[in-house]
Amino acid sequence: MSFLSEFKTFAVKGNVVDMAVGIIIGAAFGKIVSSFVGDVVMPPLGILIGGVDFSDLAITLKAAEGDLPAVMLAYGKFIQTVVDFTIVAFAIFLGIKAINKLKHEKEATEPAVEEPAAEPEITAEERLLTEIRDLLKQQRQP
């Protein structure tokens, strides 16, 4: 199989398409969460801790000089990103928990697959009778 045909087979598989859709939806979900955190969660939280805007929290490492901008350590944006991550991680946790619950319910409702019964062990009596049968067959044959 050539490299291109192998790649085509890989790219057309359903798993790759599903993964691409998941990545696109995940990116959109990330934007929604960022907006939720930045526009809904952080403003009231800032008010509760004294009117602080988290996106403005920063430490100036080097002041601006001439045309050069100031060098800032923007830890407020980092705090906002950590809150974003926590919300996304919690949402994914809830989704996976729901999927696992559905899997367990499905397994519980599916009939159990019965394995074929194993052949019972031959008792000593049955073994002896089999040997007698075989000996009688040999005696009848010329």
Give the least confident one: 20-24, 96-100, 105-109, 136-140: 105-109
Q: Which CATH number belongs to the domain containing residue 47 in this structure?
A: 1.10.1200.120
- Does residue 47 fall inside a structural domain? yes
- Does residue 121 fall inside a structural domain? no
pLDDT digits (tens, 9 = 90+) for 75-104: 888 888 888 888 878 877 888 888 888 888
CA–CA distance, 24 with 129 (Å, rounded to integer): 72
Residue 40 has pLDDT above 80, yes or no: yes
Both tokens of 76, joined, read 């407020």
- Does residue 125 fall inside a structural domain? no
CA–CA distance, 37 with 31 (Å, rounded to integer): 10
Residue 4 has pLDDT above 80, yes or no: yes
CA–CA distance, 131 with 127 (Å, rounded to integer): 6
Residue 38 has pLDDT above 70, yes or no: yes
- Does residue 35 fall inside a structural domain? yes
H or E element in which residue 8 lies: helix 3-12
Q: How many domains in the chain?
A: 1
- Does residue 69 fall inside a structural domain? yes
More confident residue, 53 or 96: 96
- Domain limits for position 63: 3-112
Residue 126 has pLDDT above 70, yes or no: yes
Residues 6+ apart with CB under 8 A from 33: 84, 87, 88, 91
| Percentage of the residues of the chain whose pLDDT score is greater than 70 | 94
> With bands split at pLDDT 50, 70 and 90, how would you rate the model's confidence at 35?
confident
- Does residue 98 fall inside a structural domain? yes
